[in-house]
Structure 1
Amino acid sequence: MPVRALSIGDLARGTGTKVVTIRYYEKIGLLPEPARSPGNYRVYSGKTLDRLHFIRRCRALGFTLDQIRALLELSSDAERACDEVDRIAAVHLAEVEGKIADLTRLAQELRSISSSCQGGGTISNCCIMDALSPDSRTES
């Protein structure tokens, strides 16, 4: 059965990716340079579609482009041990957990600031504005 050639529009629709993003991924080497039709249009294969799905899933999980590049490189050797993939995922997980901890502290601080406001006052005596002013900050 012959493989159906995909246009850049087909690839975009099939993955929910903007055309400009596909071109960017080609430019930075995450996607291979596509073949060209006789009319000089980009022509993609199902392999490229699968690769772009992989990239999109990695991006949805917050992996950086460099981490994705490393994962793609590792995926090219199916018999290789997966230690390095595990290391990349563990590093990323630690980064995500660090961001969650930072956001939790931020939410607690904002709750504290917001709870001090009773509303109905003026800006000149607003507890929130006072808490945000430079002279009321304390560095952690």
Structure 2
Amino acid sequence: MNIGDVAKRAGLPAKTIRYYEDIGLVKPPRDANGYRAFREQDVHKLAFLSRARALGFTIEDCRTLLTLYEDQTRASADVKTLAEAHLHKIEDKIAQLQSMRDTLSELVHACAGDNRPDCPILKDLAADTNA
């Protein structure tokens, strides 16, 4: 299979597939002419990576997940530990975003949004938080 076919089937751009090859996540064999010869297992692995990335796992997390996936003697606890750590990061990020939203919402509501130069949004941004 060529890279264009694989890209369609895995739902990834060819550039991403080349990048994954460059960093060793996939290693398709090469034909005699030097072209990549993707196998069904490569398509499966790329779809796996696509799904993991869509869930926000880092490249290194994906590398670990692939290793765990390919290890038939793995403990599911190892996979769960990695997923739980990622979930905690997502939850922390959500809390940060909610805090940002709440602060910005307060500032937007405090601003008259008229022709006067007084602006609580700019005052807050300019405030010295180290004092």
Aligned counterparts of 1:137 and 1:68: Cα–Cα separation in 2: 41
Of 25, 31, 40, the match for 2:34: 40
Aligned counterparts of 1:89 and 1:16: Cα–Cα separation in 2: 23
Aligned counterparts of 1:35 and 1:80: Cα–Cα separation in 2: 26
- 5 Å-filtered alignment, 1:1-140, equals 6-32=1-27, 34-122=28-116, 124-133=117-126, 136-138=127-129
Gaps of at least 5 residues in structure 1 are 1-5
- The alpha carbon displacement at 1:38 in A equals 3.2
TM-score (structure 2 length as normaliser): 0.92
- The alpha carbon displacement at 1:121 in A equals 2.3
Aligned counterparts of 2:87 and 2:23: Cα–Cα separation in 1: 25
Aligned counterparts of 1:12 and 1:80: Cα–Cα separation in 2: 29
TM-score (structure 1 length as normaliser): 0.86
How many residue pairs get matched? 130
Cα offsets for 1:72-96 (capped at 9, x unmatched) = 1111122322111010001000100
Structure 1 counterpart of 2:90, one-letter code: V
- The alpha carbon displacement at 1:117 in A equals 1.1
Aligned counterparts of 2:121 and 2:111: Cα–Cα separation in 1: 6
Aligned counterparts of 1:36 and 1:65: Cα–Cα separation in 2: 24
Aligned counterparts of 1:69 and 1:84: Cα–Cα separation in 2: 14
